[in-house]
Amino acid sequence: MSGILVVGAGGHAKVVIATLHAAGMDVVGVLDDRAESWGRSVLGYPVLGGLERLESTLGRAVLAIGSNAARHNIVARFPNVVWVSVVHPAATVHGSVQIGLGTVIFAGAVIQPDTMLGSHVIVNTGATVDHDCVLMDYVHVAPGAHLAGAVHLEEGVFLGVGCAVVPSVTVGHWTTVGAGGVVVRNLPANTVAVGIPARPKEERIQT
């Protein structure tokens, strides 16, 4: 199988397929574990069945699921899949940027020099990542979010739509920052932070 299987049949999959098209990459079809999706199509590509088909194919695949935890679980479930990275030609990515397996970068994204992107990272539409940032595995930077220089996002961080992060801040692993949040200091792991400035919800309740 020479083309690429798209894993996930939701709205995010449409953007991934559009990115694959723009990058000149061939799509074979779509896989999704939700039985109600089987027999349908996503942007004209058939949903061929559940993810168990990944075990029997020799082809390549890309994850088209926005949930960081879901992507993590699928990669653990199918350790032998060849995951491909995709960069939209309308994204601006400096040549010094390191891009891990399975990472997708959508149209309008800007990624500046000496940034490192881990595996299965999503840099969504119109997001910007400035110089010397580190985005570990399974990070998702939502549309229109902006990272200043030397920001460190640990594994599984999710930055909501329109977030901003000031320079040299670290966000702990598997933390979510709500839409429009402004991160001005380090955030701990495994929390949800909201607001301007973004603070963990528990902290906001206490104050």
Active site residues: 131
Angle CA 94–164–104, to nearest 5: 45
Distance CA 151, CA 35 (A): 40
Distance CA 121, CA 197 (A): 25
Which residues neighbour 167 within 8 Å (Cβ) at sequence distance 6 or greater? Answer: 130, 148, 149, 150, 151
Distance CA 50, CA 37 (A): 9
Contact 161, 144 (CB under 8 A): yes
